[in-house]
């Protein structure tokens, strides 16, 4: 099964190498692949949620305000940019950047 998971991960990374931002007030029950949910409250972005781009299916939640760790996200020409990089400290331990909507893996 490990080999299947690895193959799926390659597929997922290829299929969803670009994430598109979706503004929402509330997170939908089922998150779509390749979508980055930009959580808004009264026109103010406070969080980001998306499925991990490695294909593990885990939810990644980022704070845009409040206490550390906190990320800076912007949408320029419709493309999402997040700084600093995202490094999951649990599960798959994926480490990546999102630049111009594209997932840039840190090897």
User: Which residues of this chain interact with Zn ion, rule CB under 5 A?
Assistant: 52, 54, 56, 92, 94
> Minimal distance in Å, beta carbon 93 to Zn ion?
8
Based on CB atoms, which residue is closest to Zn ion, 60 or 99? 60
> Minimal distance in Å, beta carbon 55 to Zn ion?
7
Residue 39: CB atoms within 10 A of its CB come to 20
> Minimal distance in Å, beta carbon 77 to Zn ion?
28
Based on CB atoms, which residue is closest to Zn ion, 80 or 103? 103
Based on CB atoms, which residue is closest to Zn ion, 40 or 56? 56
> Minimal distance in Å, beta carbon 32 to Zn ion?
16
Task: Provide the CA 25 distance to its chain's centre, in angstroms.
Answer: 17
Nearest CA to 55 out of 26, 83, 23, 96 is that of: 96
Based on CB atoms, which residue is closest to Zn ion, 54 or 82? 54
């Amino acid at each position: 099964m490990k080999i299947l998971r690895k193959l799926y991960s390659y597929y997922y990374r290829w299929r969803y190498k670009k994430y598109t931002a979706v503004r929402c007030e509330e997170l939908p029950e089922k998150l779509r692949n390749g979508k980055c949910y930009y959580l808004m409250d009264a026109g103010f972005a406070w969080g980001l949620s998306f499925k991990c781009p490695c294909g593990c299916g885990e939810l990644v939640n980022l704070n845009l305000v409040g206490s550390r760790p906190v990320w800076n996200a912007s949408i320029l020409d419709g493309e999402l940019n997040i700084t600093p990089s995202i490094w999951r400290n649990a599960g798959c331990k994926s480490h990546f950047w999102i630049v111009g909507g594209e997932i840039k893996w840190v090897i």
